[in-house]
Chain A
Amino acid sequence: NAGVTQTPKFQVLKTGQSMTLQCAQDMNHNSMYWYRQDPGMGLRLIYYSASEGTTDKGEVPNGYNVSRLNKREFSLRLESAAPSQTSVYFCASRGLAHNEQFFGPGTRLTVL
């Protein structure tokens, strides 16, 4: 079991460029989440998907879009990157039987 995997691990973008962060889980979990982590602010929820085929906005959705491609995969897209989106992005998943979330290793994104 790989758990939750994220690609890429690091990325540098120029302002205005687009990119997609990939996330996959092999635990057959229903729910998946995208967070950003900034110093002193903890984790802030960007979008989540309670089940395949559904997505909902979290606390800080502006500038992002998501796709729940299937039960395993949940991608986060930045259409036009801005320096304010420089952050570490974490994907997480959560099953019905276990209440906690399982986290991926993160993607460190820098927007110049």
Chain B
Amino acid sequence: AQSVTQLDSQVPVFEEAPVELRCNYSSSVSVYLFWYVQYPNQGLQLLLKYLSGSTLVKGINGFEAEFNKSQTSFHLRKPSVHISDTAEYFCAVTSGYSSASKIIFGSGTRLSIRP
């Protein structure tokens, strides 16, 4: 069975500082990985995804993530955060490309930016 662990429930950082949100997954088969962002009182929107190819994936708003198969990790990074990045971030995994396969979400990491 697949699972996703987001190691930090909350991450406070200062504006313009770098940030890393950690995500580890477990799966016995090939995986596809996602990061979603949820701004206050909104639904989730896709930040980036890894399906295959280059292990460094670039997303919207200056975020990037690196797929590390040996460490079963998919950590999200941004070199310099802004107040507008305040949101909750969810890591997700699926093992199937078809729409019938389920996507499993982590419990979320709340990123708070201090001025």
Counting chain B CB atoms within 10 Å of each CB, the highest count among A94, A95, A96 belongs to A94
Taking CB atoms, residues of chain B closer than 8 Å to A31 are: 99-100
Taking CB atoms, residues of chain A closer than 8 Å to B90 are: 42-43
Known: A42-B105, A42-B107, A43-B105. A96 touches B98 (CB 8 A): yes
A99 interface neighbour in B49, B105, B106, B108, Cβ under 8 Å: B49
A35 CA to B36 CA, complexed, in Å: 15
The B interface is mostly helix, strand or loop, or mixed, namely: loop
What range describes how many residues of B lie at the interface? 20 to 34
Counting chain B CB atoms within 10 Å of each CB, the highest count among A102, A103, A104 belongs to A103
Query: Do B100 and A50 touch (CB < 8 A)?
Result: yes
- CB of A40 within 8 A of chain B? yes
Interface string of A76-106 (1 = CB under 8 A from B): 0000000000000010101110011111111
- CB of A68 within 8 A of chain B? no
Q: How near does chain B come to A92, taking the closest CB pair, in angstroms?
A: 8
Taking CB atoms, residues of chain A closer than 8 Å to B6 are: 42
B99 interface neighbour in A42, A90, A96, Cβ under 8 Å: A96
Total number of A residues with any Cβ neighbor in B under 8 Å:
27
Stretch at the interface among B13-21, B38-46, B73-81: B38-46
Taking CB atoms, residues of chain B closer than 8 Å to A35 are: 105
Q: How near does chain A come to B115, taking the closest CB pair, in angstroms?
A: 25
Query: Do B42 and A105 touch (CB < 8 A)?
Result: yes
Query: Do A30 and B105 touch (CB < 8 A)?
Result: no
Counting chain A CB atoms within 10 Å of each CB, the highest count among B103, B107, B108 belongs to B103
Counting chain A CB atoms within 10 Å of each CB, the highest count among B43, B90, B94 belongs to B43
Q: How near does chain B come to A52, taking the closest CB pair, in angstroms?
A: 12
- Give the nearest-CB partner of A41 in chain B: B107
B100 interface neighbour in A43, A45, A51, Cβ under 8 Å: A51
- CB of A74 within 8 A of chain B? no
Query: Do A45 and B45 touch (CB < 8 A)?
Result: no
Known contacts A90-B44, A99-B97, A100-B34; 7 additional CB pairs below 8 A are A42-B6, A42-B106, A42-B107, A50-B99, A100-B46, A101-B103, A105-B42
